[in-house]
Amino acid sequence: MTLDAVLPPQCLACNASVDRPGNLCAGCFTKFTFITPPHCDCCGVPLETPVIEDVLCGACLSDRPAFDQARAVFLYTADSRHLILKLKHGDRTDAAVSLARWMQRAGVALIADCDVIVPVPLHRWRLLSRMYNQSALLANALGNECGKPVIPDAVTRVKATPVQGGLDRAARRKNVARAFAVKNPSVIQDRRVLLIDDVLTTGATTSACAATLLGAGAASVSVLVLARVPLTNA
């Protein structure tokens, strides 16, 4: 008797039975919006403009983030939010391996160009209350899949910032100002860093992390996330 017969594979989003582990059921698949071109060359947000090479969204044109490029698997919507929350709050931490494979496909060029993978950190008090960092779970799983080294503690969060939900772009940036530090710059010195997070909204957190890494000597920083909040909601 196979393991799948005893424990049938479940949809990552709704737990319905599926044919293979790590899949979405047909109903959930139609509710996800997977990101494809055209998108902003910098932050990766989908665009409605015709395909133009190296096109940037208005936000990146007016205030470019510290990172080089960001890419995401799917849009952050009411349906995909449910999957993110299940990962974030411990219901489906096992999904990290399957989700990392999705990220590997979405970020193939960024992964090929990076030297090390680094997760966006949680402050120690939030880490203690949650018991794990979902970004670190994704980073470790991605590193195992693609064979790139992962440095889970390359960046630390030195300021316990309030949650970002409900804050506009300016408030988010102020909230994470001076929130991060690199305590051992030698581990990222002159290395191309791929920063991992679960959701990218305005890019304030990942940009602040990237600026900290660059200030500590990283050669470059790109970002790979599961979900990207649409421009109208950012």
81 shares its domain with 40: yes
* Distant-in-sequence, close-in-space partners of 95: CB < 8 Å, separation ≥ 6: 12, 22, 83, 86, 87
126 shares its domain with 63: yes
13 shares its domain with 58: no
Spatial distance between the Cα atoms of 165 and 204, rounded to a whole number of angstroms: 12
Give the per-residue pLDDT at 127.
Answer: 59
**Residue 66's domain is classified under what CATH number?**
3.40.50.2020
60 shares its domain with 45: yes
69 shares its domain with 148: yes
11 shares its domain with 61: no
19 shares its domain with 56: no
Give the per-residue pLDDT at 93.
Answer: 81
Give the per-residue pLDDT at 43.
Answer: 94
Owning domain of residue 1: 1-31
76 shares its domain with 96: yes
Per-residue CA distances from 27 to 96, 216, 228 (Å): 21, 46, 21
8 shares its domain with 58: no
Give the per-residue pLDDT at 74.
Answer: 96
19 shares its domain with 125: no
79 shares its domain with 132: yes
- pLDDT tens for the 234 residues of the chain, in order: 344 445 788 899 888 999 988 899 999 999 999 999 889 999 999 988 766 677 898 889 988 999 999 999 999 998 899 899 888 876 678 889 999 999 999 999 999 999 999 999 987 766 556 667 899 999 999 999 999 999 999 999 887 665 655 555 565 655 566 779 999 999 999 999 999 999 998 888 999 999 999 999 999 999 999 999 987 655
Domain count, the chain: 2
| Nearest partner of 117 among 135, 134, 132, judged by Cα | 135
5 shares its domain with 88: no
Spatial distance between the Cα atoms of 108 and 113, rounded to a whole number of angstroms: 9
pTM above 0.95, yes or no: no
